[in-house]
Amino acid sequence: MAAKVNKEECTGCGTCVEECPVEAIIIDEDEGCAVVDEDECVDCGACEEACPIGAIKTE
């Protein structure tokens, strides 16, 4: 299961993008927050650990 971004909390800082080992996250310029490509995400948890405000959850 892919990581989930709480779009109301995400500030679009990009920390998760830098930490994703499979490059499955981008910052959507229109929404101003992170978006996870569910087909590419390996659910490793790196983004969840890296997020400074806890806006990403893995399951």
Task: State pTM to two decimals.
Answer: 0.92
| CATH number of this structure's domain 4-57 | 3.30.70.20
**Quick count: other Cβ atoms within 10 Å of Cβ 36?**
20
Q: What is the model's pLDDT at position 59? A: 78
Residue 1 has pLDDT above 90, yes or no: no
* Residues 6+ away with beta carbon under 8 Å from 51: 15, 16
Tens-place pLDDT, residues 2-53:
999 999 999 999 999 999 999 999 999 999 999 999 999 999 999 999 999 9
Q: Where are the domains of the chain?
A: 4-57
